[in-house]
Amino acid sequence: MIIALIFMLLTGVMNVGAEVEELLPKDKIGVIVTILPFANFVEKVGKERVEVGVMVPPGASPHTYEPTPLQLKEISQAQLYVKVGSGIDFELAWMDKIRKVNRDMLICDSSQGIEIINHDPHIWLSPKNAKKIVQNICQALIQIDPLSQEYFKENAREFNSRLDELDKEIKIKLSKMNNKRFLSYHPSWTYFAKEYDLVQVAIEEEGKEPSATFLVSIIEQARASHISIILCSPQFNIKSAEVIAQEIGAQIITADPLARDYIKNLQNLTTVLGGNE
């Protein structure tokens, strides 16, 4: 019985090792990112020369997620960690531990050169900020693989050109918005709103479920401003948003700030906001 148990444990360890080896092959740069959009950025710059692992999986919240033993093992084999760097909760809680797991791993602070607004960590939701993030990632990959410098730079230029096109596309679509105000359950869209002259009104009260009094004030404010759109992230409970939507006759739109396909995600959002479905 004991021998069988030891065999099972050893087999499990071997299987975990095999899985990690497959995730981070030796002929590629092993890169770990905190959230899914940054996997997209790294893949656009590194293409087939990188293998990317993501800490916070689809559907999970970076405010509460804790890494698994397998993810920590993956970190131990990575060459680069691309952190958001803007104060996202996962990094505040885990970055020191991540450093200790792999002290040889280069850490890229993707927020370099970006102005943080009121401690809001959602810097990537502005295409202009995304371009700076891409450049920071490019420089980190060059540091690891200097011989591929021109390759990474060309890929970064190509993707940033696409982000310029996205920026123009968003401006055209949002120019058709009659009301520039919108409600957002979790205020993820501060940088997006600022870049495109929109006004985000948060339903959360200091990061928590709104009180009954606060909910009433939000409803009154929404009515006075004729707000007809409420953005909700799939990572959060939307009961409060549903109450408000029923009271003011607003449309609830699921808008995921953590979607992997960055360009498609913002295209879809602006199509709905601009009323061009």
Q: DSSP secondary structure string, 228-251?
A: -EEEE-TTS--HHHHHHHHHHTPE
Question: Which residue type occupies 277?
Answer: E
CA distance 137 to 129: 12
Confidence of residue 16 (pLDDT cuts 50, 70, 90): very low
Is the confidence at residue 23, as pLDDT, over 80? no
Q: Flag the least confident range among 17-26, 139-148, 191-200, 245-254.
A: 17-26
Is the confidence at residue 207, as pLDDT, over 90? no
Question: Which residue type occupies 46?
Answer: G
Model confidence, pTM = 0.87
Instruction: Tell me 210's DSSP state.
Output: P
Confidence of residue 21 (pLDDT cuts 50, 70, 90): very low
By CB atoms closer than 10 A (0-12, 13-18, 19+), residue 147 is: exposed
Is the confidence at residue 8, as pLDDT, over 50? no
Q: How many residues comprise the chain?
A: 277
Is the confidence at residue 24, as pLDDT, over 70? no
What's the pLDDT at 5? 35
Is the confidence at residue 174, as pLDDT, over 60? yes
What's the pLDDT at 25? 65
Looking at residues 154-179, what average pLDDT do you find? Answer: 95
Looking at residues 218-234, what average pLDDT do you find? Answer: 92
Instruction: Tell me 226's DSSP state.
Output: T
By CB atoms closer than 10 A (0-12, 13-18, 19+), residue 28 is: middle
Report all structural domains of the chain as residue ranges with CATH numbers, in order of start.
Answer: 18-170 (3.40.50.1980), 176-273 (3.40.50.1980)
pLDDT in tens, 35-82: 999 999 999 999 999 999 999 999 899 999 999 999 999 999 999 999
Confidence of residue 238 (pLDDT cuts 50, 70, 90): confident
Contacts 24+ apart (CB under 8 A), 150-155: 151/49, 152/45, 152/46, 155/44, 155/45, 155/46, 155/47
Cα→Cα distances 256→184, 218, 267, 268, Å: 11, 22, 12, 10
Q: Please give the residue that has the higher pLDDT: either 166 or 238.
A: 166
Q: Retrieve residue 134's tokens.
A: 């891409």
Residue pair 224/245 in contact (Cβ under 8 Å)? The answer is no
Is the confidence at residue 19, as pLDDT, over 70? no
The dihedrals phi and psi of 207, each to the nearest 5 degrees, come to 80, 10
Q: Which residues contact 160 (CB under 8 A, 6 or more apart)?
A: 131, 134, 135
Instruction: Tell me 117's DSSP state.
Output: P
